[in-house]
Amino acid sequence: MSVSSMNRVMQRIRQVVVDADDPCESDADLLARFLSHSDSRAVSVLIRRHAPMVWGVCRRMLFDHHDAEDAFQATFLVLLRKANTIKPRSMVGNWLHGVALQTALKARAMTMKRSTREKPMATVPDPAPKTTGDHPMLAFLDEELNRLPEKYRVVLVLCDLQGKTRAEAAKELGWAEGTVASRLGRGRQMLAKRLGRHGKVISATATSALLAKNVVSAVPAAVVATTVQAAITIVSAKTVAAAGLSQHVIALADGVVKTMLLSKLKAAIAIVLVLGLIVSGATVLTSRMAAAQGDKPSAAEKPAPTPQKQKEKQERRHSPPGAKRSVACKRASVSFPERSGPTTPVKRSTLL
């Protein structure tokens, strides 16, 4: 990296450090500035704004502090690479929560794999999730939150994980404040029910308190500063190599990006399969209907009338109406057999 490029990077870093997080700038505006103008300050504000939530996920999912730091940096590295996939753009926090969870799970799996290679099987630690917190439900909090429907998950992330008010969440999402309040209460109840499946009954109020601990979680200032500096360097130099990130962080980010791509491919394949089943069903139904219509005799297959019937039909067609009635009467006449023996005269009664 040249001296002039390094000077430009350092000037941007000093500018970002001086600039404060303006609450009037929404996540959607910051994301749009980054995508359209590669604005390093917008990236810095996004990282600092969402750092407590991302750090809380990493610390709850990972027991080792260094693994949590790597997962934290990898999460925002994924943001730089896949920011254009955030739709709608106002849901940056919701998207980052899912990415942080995937990154932490990937880091845990890589740690277990490394431990398996380095230690005998008898000393391999239990793969069950651990947490530095004192509540047993913290280990399952983020995974169960991620399984909620999006309309409930997004309000929990904004209000409980990020500490926003209902009015602020409603403004950011473009919803009515009553809608935010109802979905927030319903989401807390659903999350409490899901957490209860892990062996301990927990109320919706206690669930909200667990989520609220994330707001006051202390993010190491050095970790945030290092991540911001790396992000600005990547944006300016257009390369990850210049950021000085560890290979473990880069491998984590690569693994998460591949997982996201596979998820999209699976979704696309599922849609294609469903459409294929619909088309196949319609084809089978059409062929059956055509076969059913084919079983009926067509006009060409009906037996041709005999010459006698054709002659009678022509006579009825060209004969006058009176003749038609006489022919009909003649056909309708019935002949009775003659009685043998004397006939009995019929007496007429005379009415005077």
The region of weakest confidence among 56-70, 97-111, 175-189, 298-312 is 298-312
Residues 199 and 241 in one domain: no
pLDDT band at 14 (very low <50, low <70, confident <90, very high): very low
pLDDT of residue 301: 57
Do 266 and 202 fall within a single domain?
no
Determine, yes or no, domain membership for 288: no
Mean predicted confidence (pLDDT) in 143-162? 95
**Same-domain status, 25 and 95:** yes
Domain of residue 75, residue span: 9-132+216-280
Q: What is the pLDDT of residues 161-171, one digit of tens each?
A: 998 999 999 99
Is residue 250 in some structural domain? yes
| Position 15 in a domain | yes
Any domain includes 176: yes
Between 38-42, 167-171, 313-317, the lowest mean confidence (pLDDT) is in 313-317
121, 257: one domain:
yes
Q: Which of 253, 280, 307 is the last residue of a domain?
A: 280
Residue 335 placed within a domain? no
200 and 250 inside one domain:
no
Structure tokens belonging to residue 331: 């056909």
Q: Is residue 320 part of a domain?
A: no
Same domain flag for 13 and 94? yes
Whether residues 44 and 189 fall in one domain: no
Q: Out of 8-12, 128-132, 207-211, 321-325, give the one with best mean pLDDT.
A: 207-211
Q: What is the pLDDT of residue 18?
A: 41
User: Domains in the chain: how many in total?
Assistant: 2
Do 83 and 224 fall within a single domain? yes
Q: What is the pLDDT of residues 213-226, one digit of tens each?
A: 766 567 899 999 99
CATH number of the domain enclosing 209: 1.10.10.10
Residue at which a domain ends, from 226, 251, 280? 280
- Retrieve residue 269's tokens: 């394949």
Q: Which residue has the higher pLDDT, 222 or 314?
A: 222
Residue 128 pLDDT level (bands cut at 50, 70, 90)? very low
Q: Above 70 in pLDDT, residue 336?
A: no
Q: Which residue, 260, 280, 300, sits at the end of a domain?
A: 280
Q: Which pair of tokens denotes residue 337?
A: 């057999």
Q: Are residues 164 and 33 in the same domain?
A: no
**Same domain, yes or no, for 17 and 112?**
yes
Q: What average pLDDT score do residues 17-21 get?
A: 47
The phi and psi torsions of 103 (rounded to 5 degrees) equal -65, -45
pTM: 0.72
Least confident of 92-106, 273-287, 330-344: 330-344
Tokens 């399969």, located at residue: 273
**104 in the same domain as 196:** no
- Is residue 276, in this structure, part of any structural domain at all? yes
Asked whether residue 49 falls in the same domain as residue 156, the answer is: no
Give me the chain's average pLDDT, please.
81
